[in-house]
Structure 1
Amino acid sequence: MEVRAVSRNIRVSPYKVRLVVNEIKKMQPGDAVKMLNFTQQAASKPLKKVVMSAIANAKNNNNLNENSLTFKEIQIGHGLTFKRYRPISRGRVHDIKKITSHIRVVLEGKEAESKKVEEKKEDTKKLEAKKGKENGTKG
């Protein structure tokens, strides 16, 4: 069972996010969250939020056990680029590009063993129309 969580336009460049992702992609998601608490990179906080969101989706929506989850993929892509300008001499400007990134986390896990409720099929008997004077029919 796959579970996804996406965060878009994070105000950290994709290169910097990938540095942190390379550290956690071989771990289990629960251990990755613990490690991201102590990582001092700027990308660790938004990445931790996305991983925690994916874990919560797995628990609440699909009834998966947190310990059985693994990372299937973590994609880091380019987001929007905010363009700002800085004036310099002789009436010119230099542009400042503020790069953002998209984070997509896909978790994979085994379904929790839920108790299967056996549905009891009720015997459906075809009701026959009663015939006779007391029931208002001829016969």
Structure 2
Amino acid sequence: MAKGHRSQIKRERNESQKETRPSAKLSYARVSVQKACFVLDAIRGKDVQTALGILAYNPRYASRLVEKLLKSAIANAENNNGMNPQNLYVAACYADKGPTMKRIRPRAQGRAYRIEKRVSHITVVLDER
């Protein structure tokens, strides 16, 4: 049986389970999860130089966001974890659903159609080979 206060036990447990891989997260990106995943699927598992090349020539809007996010994750790995950027690869990348903004589109005969502007939270996790 563990001794100590519940918050202390939780703190110790969370420290042991903490993610050590370098990552970067973009919250409330104005792109739907489905559209972001097209870009993320293209770079998953690739080394960072290849991934940056793919993103630079991808015409999708989400690729600009993911490119900036990937560069941020590389900088985090270099500065915070002391890793060599040449050995890094995209270990995991995913997009989670954020809150949807609801807007109204006026239609004929006084009706209103709803427009849903979807938002996503994009995460890129790197690791060293």
Match of 2:32 in 1: 13
Q: How big is the alpha-carbon RMSD for the aligned residues of Structure 1 and Structure 2?
A: 1.2
TM-score (norm: length of structure 1): 0.75
Match of 1:106 in 2: 125
Task: Show CA shifts across 1:52-78 (max 9, x none).
Answer: 100000011111000111222112111
Question: Equivalents in 1 of 2:45, 2:123: separation in Å?
Answer: 16
Pick aligned residue for 1:43 from 37, 59, 62: 62
Question: Equivalents in 1 of 2:34, 2:125: separation in Å?
Answer: 20
1 or 2, which has the higher helix percentage? 2
Q: Which amino acid aligns with 1:75?
A: Y
Match of 1:29 in 2: 48
Alignment map for 1:127-138 (pairs within 5 Å): none
Pick aligned residue for 1:73 from 83, 92, 95: 92
Task: Show CA shifts across 1:44-103 (max 9, x none).
Answer: 000111111000000111110001112221121111211110111222100000101110
Identity of aligned residues (%): 35
Equivalent residue pairs, number? 110
Match of 1:82 in 2: 101
Question: Equivalents in 2 of 1:88, 1:52: separation in Å?
Answer: 43
Q: Secondary structure at the match of 1:63?
A: coil
Q: How far does residue 30 in structure 1 lie from its aligned partner after superposition? A: 2.1
Poorly superposed stretches of 4+, deviation over 6 Å: none
Q: Which runs of 5+ in 2 are unaligned?
A: 1-19
Structure label with greater radius of gyration: 1
Whether the aligned pair in 1 keeps the contact of 2:83 and 2:128 (CA below 8 Å) is yes
